[in-house]
Amino acid sequence: MLLLLKRVIPISLLIVLMVGCSATRPEGQLAIPLAKITPPESVTTVRLVDYAVDSPFTKVVHVVRLPDGQFLALSAKDPNGGCTVPWNAQAHLFWNPCHGAQYNIRGEVLTGPAIRGLDRFPVHASVADRKVYVDVANPPAPGAAR
């Protein structure tokens, strides 16, 4: 089929068409369907590789749905040492297995040796296309100091 197309459409134009068709979101934007985001006061952990998104800043993002319906996007990378910080749903907090620091649902330090909270990525929800967008292309904002 490529041979047939090559005769009708120049190959450079074909490449532009193929790349243009695959770009459904801006580079570095993680687009998560609202249906995948759990109810308020809960956390959905998202691996960027599952959405074909790459970022030099994190490989895992915690999308938090707050009680008022707003969203936060927290880096799962501990800003104090680089460990992956998982969400503990039973204890309702983030717990760092490397040094024992604990963070609340907003990523703020509760206990432990951490000097600041989890980093935050810009996030916005779109009702029109029913998605939550997280910008992982740019450095996250540092978490709040302890």
CATH of the domain at 130: 2.102.10.10
Contact in structure between 31 and 51 (CB atoms under 8 Å): yes
Q: Which residues span the domain enclosing 36?
A: 28-135
With respect to residue 117, please indicate whether it lies within any of the assigned structural domains.
yes
With respect to residue 18, please indicate whether it lies within any of the assigned structural domains.
no
Confidence at residue 52, expressed as pLDDT on a 0 to 100 scale:
87
Q: Of 32, 33, 69, which Cα lies nearest the Cα of 47?
A: 32
pLDDT under 70 in the chain at which residues?
1-26
With respect to residue 10, please indicate whether it lies within any of the assigned structural domains.
no
Contact in structure between 115 and 12 (CB atoms under 8 Å): no
With respect to residue 22, please indicate whether it lies within any of the assigned structural domains.
no
Confidence at residue 26, expressed as pLDDT on a 0 to 100 scale:
64
Q: What is the pLDDT of residues 92-108, one digit of tens each?
A: 999 999 989 999 999 99
Domain count, the chain: 1
On whether the pTM is more than 0.85, the answer is: no
Q: What is the rounded CA–CA span in Å between residue 86 and residue 44?
A: 11
With respect to residue 102, please indicate whether it lies within any of the assigned structural domains.
yes
With respect to residue 6, please indicate whether it lies within any of the assigned structural domains.
no
Return the amino acid letter for 130: R
With respect to residue 17, please indicate whether it lies within any of the assigned structural domains.
no
